[in-house]
Structure 1
Amino acid sequence: MKKFTFAALAVPLMWVLLLLLFFSSNKIHAQETIVLSGVVKTADGTPIEGVTVWQQDTDNGTQTNEQGFYTINISPNAVVVFEYIGYKTQSIAVTGKVLNVTLTADDDILEELVINAGYYSVKDKERTGSISKITSKEIGQQPVANPLAAMQGRMAGVNITQSSGTPGGGFDIQIRGRNSLRTEGNAPLYIVDGVPYPSQSASDPNVSIYSFSGGNISPLNSINPSDIENIEVLKDADATAIYGSRGSNGVVLITTKKGSSDKTTFSLLSTTSVSTVAGYMDLMKTDDYLKMRRDAYVNDGISTYPANAYDVNGTWNQDRYTDWQKEFVGGKAVSQNTQFSVGGGSGQTSYLFSAGHRNDATVFPGDFGYKRTNFSINANHQSKNKKFDTQINIMKTSQKNNLMSADFTKEMYLVPNAPELYDNQGSLNWENNTFLNPVAKLNGIYRSETEDLISNVTLRYKMLENLIMSVNGGIFENALNEVRTTPSTIYSPSLNRTSAESVLHTSDSKRKGWIIEPKLAWNLNGAYGRFDALIGGTFEERTQQAFSLQAGNFTSNELIFNVANAGIKMILFDTESRYRYMAAFARLNYTLKDRYIVNVTGRRDGSSRFGPDKRFGNFGAVGAAWLFSREKLFDDSSWLNFGKLRISYGLAGSDLIGDYQYLNTFGISRYKYDGVSGLEPLRLFNPDFSWETNKKLEGALELEFFKGRLSSSVAWYRNRSSSQLVGIPLPSLTGFNSVQANLAATVENSGWEFVLRSSNIIGKDFEWSTGFNMTIPRNKLIAFPNLEESTYAARYHVGLPTSIVKLYKYTGINKETGIYEFDDVNKDGVLNADDRQTKVNLGVTLFGGLQNSFKYRNWTLDFNWMFVKQKVYSPDYYGSYLGSFNNQPARAADYFSEDNKDARYQIPTTGANSKALQAYQNYNSSDGVVIDGSYIRLKSLQLQYTLGSQWLRGKTLTVNLQGFNLITITKYWGSDPETHGSFLPALRTIAMGLNINF
């Protein structure tokens, strides 16, 4: 943790001063021209980038930037024209130096607005599929390092959860639920500028498991949110079928920003933020803790405190109290993010170059943190005859994460009267070898270095007016090196451990791949309607190398990072795999009378992950839409300006099972014969399993009222995933635990999605718009042949969600013994697995978000509330038994005694009471540790002020104050209902930044 000082704000303040000096040095325009500036927005207050602004009857023009801002030199009293496709052109006589404009949708050409559907673009009003989208405006309102964090609470059907507040950590994303029984089988497909990007973490859990929850490191950490133009999520069969098997779990399309051929522009963004733990758990103070410990000894019949009971036997000061939460996770993590870009071009060529650096500290003690440096370049060129154009994108990212080898959050349970961490000389305090000082763990280090490259080239040639041939080619490369050290210095000196007992874990992972996709697009407008056709192919290859090593018996801790110094070296794994994929796809879209639309998509996929006779699968979808508002019945409607019914059905698949799963595979044996290492079988041959299949059905209604002031949509979906790719259990005598196969189980995800947008107030100086989304997901296992006879019987139940857990039924505390009791379901007098029949759903049952945007002159205020309804494990599940040598939640002071028989917790024990200890273990496997983890959270807030350009001469300066995870309303009594685990919770962040465009 780095200390927060005024120096942390030096960078943005320095820029402010330099820019003020720069701007003040500019001379005033000559009297024959004036500088006109302003912001162009839609009716709901969204800034519009790319609006053409020009002085009438001249060639003098410009375009708005991503904040909708423009500036132009014009003649006094001139007429200025604002033009943007899909909106009514406005011509306004200028009377001042500031002119803010609100463009209104042109109902006659609104269908010309297009959105990205992956391999093709579709008119927004005519799409038959389900696509959610956020733009750079929403992304830029949040001080986040990962694009997934910017999506939270903003998309219906897309549930994203942060797994840890440690910088560089991971996220879990579910698009319309979990289709597969395997966690790794639920990952969506990420497409970055046309290039597939890995969805799985490359981290080695052996190295990262103690620093991040589940060892999860998000691969999207490498993508700078400031470089993103928009993110679209494809959800239903009609939208995802063009991606075939890869789109089974949804598709996340990330499109980066592009340059403009108007003029050279420069942009500088600098943000400083401070992050802290949003909430602390209420833990016992010293008096309550010591009383609990003494009562535990009394309950166990121990009258003389043991020599190692330092907290109660007088060895440690019993009047001492330390709030260890503030000691270990109570710091201020200061972060600095700087982004620079230059764009421009002329004629048929445009470009955009950007570079950024991010430095995130941690709330833990010690000088730790995460750094990311990124570069990107985009170039576009079009021939003079406009028949040929090309686009090139390159993104390069370097990440370095330097952390302690283990998350410190669990150390908050250190006993409250434990000694000080450091002695008078500033050295670690071991309190005469009675104290296992947790700060010694800072001597253990986790380090990772990641290098990423994404690059693609798109070539497009217009062969005929209605026939376009194109090819997209791209590559990605990812290299990750991780190191975790466990030196002997993390232990007490009394143990006399030396560097011979120090351990180093190191891992190297390299992933790279290429893709080539040729396409041919054709369209025809005729008397019988409009046809749009697309055919293409995909050729893709990915390779991965992974190496992990454990080393020990070092001659010196100073050389612990040098494997050559280790006396013992053990290779944990050394693997190389190759994945090849090919496909042919086609799409035919037919539109009749501009209101009846049918969209048919098909794809034939081939994957190297299946046997020779099972490698190819056929997938497809059909979608239809009726734009009923274009019927004559609604021609004179004054309240309904758009209405659409749409429906889709299709089949997708999945091959997310890893490589070579169908083969007999062998590995280097851990044992030697006659001093020689041999081979041992790792997997049985089974060439007969094939694709998981996902049948998707959706129906939706979309409406717009009052000239676009109010819009809404409601969608119902049902996905059924079958032929589950899981390991079929085998008898132990076979020598294998399982064999890969298709399990005849079916998982159903269904639900309702609601979206509402409104422009509440549109005035000259004040505007207010609102957005709302809500999803009600339902998940259940609808088929599983012979479940009760399988090893999955204790995990799943037909007709219930796959996220259920089977637990004991907690019935309360025995009034005589003071020990937890549970329902003996079969009444056999023994509590065992057969009695774990209480089924609790730990999945999310409702989620959504509420966004509001206010604008008053040059001020804007945007905020986003997100809400989640769920059940989770309580902090008791992650803690220790009452009476142990660990602190407890303050509420645990309400434990059973003769004077308190209606207590919340059972009698404390030091561990000597076997019945109480067993009851605690049963309690941890009961519904007693499941609580309501629902919450409403102010996820993001931004207050922004844009300086007028009267004195800035064509330049803009925007100052903003941002917040993230600011307020949480919940019944959950732990630190954070979102992460609800034993790792660092999501942090509260307050950021101040400025953005200069010139």
Structure 2
Amino acid sequence: MLTLKMSDARYNKQKPVLLFKHPQYKERAIPVILDEKASNTGTAGLGQMVIDVDLLRDNVDGDRHGKHGDSDSDSDSDSSANNSIDRNADQDTKIKGIEEVIINAGYYKVKDKERTGSIVKVSAKDIENQPVTNVLSAAQGRMVGVSITQNSGVPGGGFDIQIRGKNSLRKEGNEPLYIIDGVPLSAETPSLYAVTILPSASINPLNAINPNDIESFEILKDADATAIYGSRGANGVVIVTTKKGRKGRTELKLNTAYSLSRVANHMEMMNTEQYLNMRREGYVNDGVTTIPASAYDLKAWDQNRYTDWQKTLIGNTSDASVVQLSLSGGAENSSYLISYGHQEQGTVFPADFKYKTNNLTGNFTFRSPDKKLEANMNNTFSFQKNNVQNDDMTKKSIQLSPNAPALYDTNGNLNWENNTFTNPVATFNSQYLNSTTFINNGTNISYRLFPFLSLKLNGGVTYQDFEERSLKPHTMYNPASGLTSANSISSLNRQTVFSYLLEPQINADFKWKDHHFDILVGTTLQQTETKQGSIQGVGFESNALIQNLGAAKTKTVSDQVVNQYYYTAAFARFNYQFRKRYILNLTGRRDGSSRFSPENRFGNFGALGAAWIFSDEPWMKKLSWLSFGKLRGSIGTTGNDKIGDYQYLNTYSVTTNIYNGITGLSPSRLYNRDFSWEKTTKKEIALELGFLKNRINLSTAYYSNTSSNQLVGIPLPATTGFPTIQSNLPAKVRNTGWEFDLSAQILRAGELRLESSLNLSIPRNTLLEFPNLEGSTYANQYVIGYPMTLVKVYQFEGVNPQTGLYSFTDFNGDGKISSPDDNKVVEKIGAEFFGGWTAAMKYKRWSASFLFQFVKQRNWNYNKSMLIPGMMSNQPLEVLNAWSPSNPSGTYMQYSSGTNAQKNSLHSYFQNSTAAISDASFIRLKNVQINYSIPVQKTGIKEAMIYVQGQNLLTLTNYFGIDPEFTVVGYLPPLKTYSLGFQLTF
């Protein structure tokens, strides 16, 4: 129990103290500063106030729902390794402004109340213990204005993150800046060989960070927040802060969990009878009287056999285990946290594939006795191995004939069914392995010269070694092909990235009467060296030698690329406050990037942000129901240099052709020193309100971002020998939108507490300008006035009841369907709005929470990937409603065996028509967690908790496909996961 003991101030000047009472510890009196606005306290007796312990814990940790106080504390929001209030009575705890929330804005920290920029935060309590390997998965649906899409349910897969939309015409130009403990990271790691298992063949950099090691996860969105990062902040900034130790006795924490996962949804496909009837009817409709021998499903395979291939190929249960061990503590002038995590995750495929990660984190803080000097070292070591086969079974499980033979014969060997069967698991005889070593060190040293003046040096080193190996022995192919080990292939790809960062800074923070000034000036020096090369060996004496590339008879070495990126900048921030309610924030940065020619190497970026805390005006104090009110806005310019290195130079590539034993070079890029930075102008205005002593908080914002000077590859005539030349295009892209964030403390009665929050984002993307668009190669890709995600498709009119064939609108009236004359219908792909709803409840030792994620969108459906109904491919049950003489109103064309050219063309139009685009909206129960705190008095254990979690438990949707979130057929969707875990603190 905590009690606040104080004497009547009229007779005694005694300071209030916090009485700490706990069965395990001696009573301790701790000084405390009272917040006159604090609520949720109760009178225990004359001269005492009882403080709600859980409320105190929530506020000390920093409730992400946003509570606003008046404290002047500028201390860092370091928290313990177990994210709970320290009950150690020997600790000299100070509690200031328990309603204060500190936001990490990158180069500086700011109180949520005084923030002029748009920053959204997810804290450790929303991330910890979730059955995920990447924090982006835990953040889905929790962050207003941030769209996060999981690209695959395969372990180690990537994510697509969009912060207030797409600004660039290039995919790589829309990646945000990732910063871990003050050190920038490279974006997605490219893979050469995982193209059929990982969409976009990329690996997200946050895979290297253990979610349980993360203290906070912030995203900077508007110009005020991102302009200080200059050319790297156009697409937002993702800031990850790992946990730190804190003063107190040594604490050992063990956390372990075990999870089971399955594919959440299977498509309903035809059974054998329905499928074979479709096949036979397809031949009849095509006028084929004799079914060819190559139709093995009709001529050779068992006509009564049935296999649910989704259950066989992607229907297994994958398991995952997590073990996390941390040691933390500290004294008056030092603290530490050492954490180790091990995780293994399997797959739903019928093979023993594993994704293994080992993470070691060591964070240390040292202070001088006079508190003038402080040094922080944050170290992260990550080792990942993933042998998930480079062949996703999802598409095969949907399209494989239901009467296809068994995968293995009676002897356990691959079954080729007398050369009639292409075995889908034959690729399991090959091997794929990628391994990543990631080391990140972020060190910052600060020294306070005077009470108002500090010097700081921020430095960091990042090293990443990514290696992938692909082994394809001849045994993965049908023995009838006659291949031997002389046809076996071994491939190796390796990429290393080494980067260092130095950022000296000086900060002045002082007050004069009603004026408060905070000035920051600094410079950045960063160098990154990337090395990449690959080699392929073909032909071995024996497959036993396939691991040894030197034993290959033929070796092909690709380009051995070494890229060096130099980046320098000077930046400044001027923050002025008058009477704590009028706030002005100016940021600026001058960047220099080696990715541009010397004439265009430097760019200037900056922003102006302002805020008015009108609730602190004397004339607003009369409104007792309004506890907080702030109006803020910002305008500024950020840039983009994500174009790769040496793009303005003439470059050459090594050819695979050899002449007289000499390997040649071929030109690969034309010289153009004239292109320069993309620029994005960002504007925002926002209103933040708190009601009923901040029990209800509402934030609403409107933003408008315009990106210009687009960096793209301009197509060239084929006679030049080059497909494109890098240049600036005078095209403009605008992203606008509304964002709403509502949170409420619904109920606090005794030991029962109920909280909830809702966020909603309504984005709009528009191509404003594109000179000479109609005469360019982009004419069929973009339309002025429409989103960049649009697609041009044919207008599907249905099935002609007389012919049973698809009909489409002939826009130019020439009597035929063709492109680009007839694919004139513009369909808007993407989200109309998205968001999330969370709720949390606590009663005594029990606590529970849930998160619903919702998205309103249109996207491609299964018709886009569907093969012609009637071919040797299974079909969804919906295809049973195909046209026939007895069903002239059918919604699908008459079945065809694939031998009719006209029907093949019509089906191709169908795949690229309005019929292949439909509503892909969904509501998903993203996460459910239930915790129970186990009584541990007199056991020697400080805390004990058992918890159960569920991920992706329920999806409500009308989408035609396997999953509405990731709509590309052929990749494993996100999995439904159940997890059981416990944690002990000693």
TM-score, normalised by the number of residues in structure 1? 0.91
Which ranges in structure 2 are unaligned for 5 or more consecutive residues?
4-14, 60-66, 72-96
Counterpart in the other structure of 1:942: 929
Structure 1 residues 693 and 421: alpha-carbon distance in aligned structure 2, compared to 1, 3 A threshold: same
Q: Residue 615 of structure 2 contacts residue 627 of structure 2 at CA under 8 Å; is this kept in 1?
A: yes
Counterpart in the other structure of 2:853: 866
Tell whether 2:738 aligns with 1:786. Answer: no
Q: Residue 863 of structure 2 contacts residue 915 of structure 2 at CA under 8 Å; is this kept in 1?
A: no
Deviation for aligned residue 1:675: 4.2
Partner amino acid for 2:975? L
| Residue 688 (structure 2) aligned to one of 684, 690, 702 | 702
Counterpart in the other structure of 2:913: 926
Tell whether 2:248 aligns with 1:296. Answer: no
Distance (whole Å) between structure 2 residues aligned to residue 102 and residue 658 of structure 1: 49
- Structure 2 residue matching 1:386: 3-state secondary structure: coil
Distance (whole Å) between structure 2 residues aligned to residue 625 and residue 900 of structure 1: 66
Give 1:451-850 correspondences, 5 Å limit. Answer: 451-527=437-513, 529-833=515-819, 834-850=821-837
Distance (whole Å) between structure 2 residues aligned to residue 361 and residue 237 of structure 1: 42
Q: Residue 2 of structure 2 contacts residue 19 of structure 2 at CA under 8 Å; is this kept in 1?
A: no
Partner amino acid for 1:840? E
Deviation for aligned residue 1:734: 1.2
| Residue 102 (structure 1) aligned to one of 55, 65, 75 | 55
Q: Residue 240 of structure 1 contacts residue 250 of structure 1 at CA under 8 Å; is this kept in 2?
A: yes
Counterpart in the other structure of 1:239: 225
Counterpart in the other structure of 1:889: 876
Partner amino acid for 2:385? K
Structure 1 residues 58 and 100: alpha-carbon distance in aligned structure 2, compared to 1, 3 A threshold: closer
Distance (whole Å) between structure 2 residues aligned to residue 388 and residue 180 of structure 1: 43
Structure 1 residues 732 and 85: alpha-carbon distance in aligned structure 2, compared to 1, 3 A threshold: farther
Distance (whole Å) between structure 2 residues aligned to residue 649 and residue 711 of structure 1: 25
Counterpart in the other structure of 2:85: none
- Structure 1 residue matching 2:909: 3-state secondary structure: helix
* Percent of matched pairs sharing the same residue: 44
Q: Residue 82 of structure 1 contacts residue 91 of structure 1 at CA under 8 Å; is this kept in 2?
A: no
Spell out, residue by residue over 1:456-506, the C-alpha distance to the aligned partner (whole angstroms, 9 max, x if none): 211100011000100011000000110122222222222222222222232
Tell whether 2:305 aligns with 1:320. Answer: yes
Tell whether 2:80 aligns with 1:128. Answer: no
Counterpart in the other structure of 1:331: 316
Distance (whole Å) between structure 2 residues aligned to residue 423 and residue 83 of structure 1: 77
Give 1:56-455 correspondences, 5 Å limit. Answer: 73-75=25-27, 88=38, 100-103=53-56, 107-109=69-71, 113-140=101-128, 142-201=130-189, 203-204=190-191, 206-313=192-299, 315-412=300-397, 413-455=399-441
- Structure 2 residue matching 1:606: 3-state secondary structure: strand
Higher mean C-alpha deviation, range 809-818 or range 535-544: 809-818
Structure 1 residues 467 and 989: alpha-carbon distance in aligned structure 2, compared to 1, 3 A threshold: same
Higher mean C-alpha deviation, range 478-487 or range 392-401: 478-487
Distance (whole Å) between structure 2 residues aligned to residue 762 and residue 88 of structure 1: 14
Counterpart in the other structure of 1:996: 984
Deviation for aligned residue 1:217: 1.5
Partner amino acid for 1:635? K
Deviation for aligned residue 1:308: 1.9
Higher mean C-alpha deviation, range 865-874 or range 162-171: 865-874
- Structure 2 residue matching 1:919: 3-state secondary structure: helix
Q: Residue 807 of structure 1 contacts residue 838 of structure 1 at CA under 8 Å; is this kept in 2?
A: yes
Partner amino acid for 2:743? R
- Structure 2 residue matching 1:296: 3-state secondary structure: helix
Q: Residue 268 of structure 1 contacts residue 995 of structure 1 at CA under 8 Å; is this kept in 2?
A: yes
Spell out, residue by residue over 1:483-533, the C-alpha distance to the aligned partner (whole angstroms, 9 max, x if none): 122222222222222222222232001011000001111022113511111
Distance (whole Å) between structure 1 residues aligned to residue 251 and residue 33 of structure 2: 21
Q: Residue 17 of structure 2 contacts residue 32 of structure 2 at CA under 8 Å; is this kept in 1?
A: no
Spell out, residue by residue over 1:177-222, the C-alpha distance to the aligned partner (whole angstroms, 9 max, x if none): 0000000000000110000011222x32x31101212212212111
Deviation for aligned residue 1:682: 1.2
Deviation for aligned residue 1:304: 1.8
Q: Residue 559 of structure 2 contacts residue 653 of structure 2 at CA under 8 Å; is this kept in 1?
A: no
Distance (whole Å) between structure 1 residues aligned to residue 948 and residue 930 of structure 2: 5
Aligned length: 935
Distance (whole Å) between structure 2 residues aligned to residue 853 and residue 121 of structure 1: 28
Distance (whole Å) between structure 2 residues aligned to residue 260 and residue 86 of structure 1: 28
Distance (whole Å) between structure 1 residues aligned to residue 759 and residue 636 of structure 2: 25
Structure 1 residues 398 and 108: alpha-carbon distance in aligned structure 2, compared to 1, 3 A threshold: closer
Partner amino acid for 2:152? S
- Structure 1 residue matching 2:193: 3-state secondary structure: helix
Q: Residue 610 of structure 2 contacts residue 634 of structure 2 at CA under 8 Å; is this kept in 1?
A: yes
Distance (whole Å) between structure 2 residues aligned to residue 272 and residue 71 of structure 1: 33
Counterpart in the other structure of 1:879: 866
What is the alpha-carbon root mean square deviation over aligned residues? 2.3
Deviation for aligned residue 1:842: 1.3
Spell out, residue by residue over 1:269-310, the C-alpha distance to the aligned partner (whole angstroms, 9 max, x if none): 000000100000111111110000000110121222211212
Spell out, residue by residue over 1:897-940, the C-alpha distance to the aligned partner (whole angstroms, 9 max, x if none): 11111111111211211111111111111111111111000001
Deviation for aligned residue 1:590: 1.0
Partner amino acid for 1:811? E
Counterpart in the other structure of 1:44: none
Q: Residue 696 of structure 2 contacts residue 744 of structure 2 at CA under 8 Å; is this kept in 1?
A: yes
Distance (whole Å) between structure 1 residues aligned to residue 835 and residue 269 of structure 2: 32
Distance (whole Å) between structure 2 residues aligned to residue 165 and residue 231 of structure 1: 23
Distance (whole Å) between structure 1 residues aligned to residue 315 and residue 800 of structure 2: 39
Partner amino acid for 1:773? N
| Residue 976 (structure 1) aligned to one of 963, 973, 980 | 963
- Structure 2 residue matching 1:221: 3-state secondary structure: helix
Distance (whole Å) between structure 2 residues aligned to residue 573 and residue 910 of structure 1: 45
Structure 1 residues 304 and 948: alpha-carbon distance in aligned structure 2, compared to 1, 3 A threshold: same
Deviation for aligned residue 1:74: 2.8
Partner amino acid for 1:123? K
Distance (whole Å) between structure 1 residues aligned to residue 685 and residue 909 of structure 2: 45
Spell out, residue by residue over 1:78-103, the C-alpha distance to the aligned partner (whole angstroms, 9 max, x if none): 878777999859798799x9984434
Which ranges in structure 1 are unaligned for 5 or more consecutive residues?
1-35, 39-55, 63-69
Distance (whole Å) between structure 1 residues aligned to residue 209 and residue 966 of structure 2: 23
Q: Residue 145 of structure 2 contacts residue 164 of structure 2 at CA under 8 Å; is this kept in 1?
A: yes
Tell whether 2:899 aligns with 1:899. Answer: no
Partner amino acid for 2:583? I
Higher mean C-alpha deviation, range 729-738 or range 493-502: 493-502
- Structure 2 residue matching 1:787: 3-state secondary structure: coil
Distance (whole Å) between structure 2 residues aligned to residue 642 and residue 924 of structure 1: 54
Q: Residue 484 of structure 1 contacts residue 505 of structure 1 at CA under 8 Å; is this kept in 2?
A: yes
Spell out, residue by residue over 1:418-471, the C-alpha distance to the aligned partner (whole angstroms, 9 max, x if none): 111222222222222222222222112211111000002111000110001000
Higher mean C-alpha deviation, range 867-876 or range 748-757: 867-876
Structure 1 residues 700 and 98: alpha-carbon distance in aligned structure 2, compared to 1, 3 A threshold: closer
Structure 1 residues 214 and 183: alpha-carbon distance in aligned structure 2, compared to 1, 3 A threshold: same
- Structure 2 residue matching 1:923: 3-state secondary structure: helix
Distance (whole Å) between structure 2 residues aligned to residue 157 and residue 328 of structure 1: 37
Distance (whole Å) between structure 1 residues aligned to residue 32 and residue 636 of structure 2: 43
- Structure 1 residue matching 2:782: 3-state secondary structure: coil
- Structure 1 residue matching 2:555: 3-state secondary structure: strand
Distance (whole Å) between structure 1 residues aligned to residue 417 and residue 34 of structure 2: 73
Deviation for aligned residue 1:560: 2.0
